[in-house]
Amino acid sequence: MKSYQKTLHLMTVAQVNTALHKLGADFKIKHLSDLVFLETKTGENTIDQGFVAKGNHLYAITAHYRDLQEPTNFDRGQLFVSQKTTASPVALDQLNGTWIAAATTTSANDTGKLMVKDGFMYQKRYDSIERSAIQDLAKYTLVTLNQNTIYAAQKRDAAQAGYQLTPKSIASADSIGYLYLFMNDHELLRIGSGQATSYQKTDSLVAAADLSQTDQTIFEQLDQQKPGESASTITVKAGPAVVGMSDSINYLTDATAGQISNNIVIGNVQKGHVTIASESTH
């Protein structure tokens, strides 16, 4: 209605900058187009705010105001501060040890215990030991990470849980889709479906009952014997150990990670040498 339009005023650049200053901003805008305005897809109501961000601060500025017969106050803007927690830099060799999630209910699929040794993460699931690579994302280019759909999905999931997966993170993932984000050398977070579970490093060593030297030898030897492949699982049921080979165990950046392409039946392990009994390719 024209009568309504006459009482409606768009905020000026000077008024926006005054509002930003009151909210503690250390910058000014030059044009109203410096603000981001959101378009609604449903309903007739519009969002009467323009947004501008700097660092971890988001400023929401009221876009317009009305003349009223009686003097009134109106909210010129709001300040939002990101509370996402970032990880501290940590070296891979500082992560070795046993990690426990005290809040986890132990099951065959989730023991609440992780073992870290020399850049790999191990965990027991059912009759298997699963191995995944711990990845230093700083070794990847920004272009590579930004174009990676697996990394993007994990980044969104971390953000939903209130944490940041960044190109400087040390992290891993697994066959279920969980993200494991190392916050420092004594705490890591398992993130999935927007929920975070905290693990604490309880020992700098890995007990043989959790990861035997034989198992470690099998993983290492088959990596060497099968160039271009990685031993991803060791499964022991009634018979000899069966090793699942995969093209990749970089679960954080590779969509094919952990897919078993070859099963290897172990004959024996003597003096650090692994003998293969048989192989079956998928």
Task: Tell me what pLDDT residue 282 has.
Answer: 67
Reference 111, options 195, 211, 205; nearest CA is 211
Instruction: Report strand pairing: 120-125 vs 49-54.
Output: unpaired
Sign for the CA dihedral angle at 124, 126, 127, 131 comes to: negative
Q: What is the pLDDT of residue 134?
A: 97
Contacts 24+ apart (CB under 8 A), 85-88: 85/162, 85/163, 85/164, 85/183, 86/163, 86/164, 86/166, 87/163, 87/164, 87/166, 87/168, 87/169, 87/170, 87/181, 87/182, 87/183, 87/184, 88/183, 88/184
Residue 17: CB atoms within 10 A of its CB come to: 17
Q: Please report the beta strands in 72-185, taking only residues with DSSP state E, as ranges in sequence order.
A: 77-81, 97-100, 113-117, 120-125, 128-133, 135-136, 170-173, 179-182
Structure tokens at 276: 């293969």
Q: Per-residue pLDDT for the chain (282 aa), expressed as one digit of tens each?
A: 677 677 788 888 999 999 999 988 999 999 999 999 887 777 666 678 899 998 878 999 988 877 777 777 777 888 887 766 677 778 888 999 999 998 776 777 788 899 999 999 999 998 899 999 999 999 999 999 989 999 999 998 988 888 889 999 999 999 999 999 999 999 999 998 878 899 999 999 999 999 999 999 999 999 988 889 999 999 998 888 899 999 999 999 999 999 999 999 988 888 778 888 787 876
The whole-number pLDDT of residue 208 equals 93
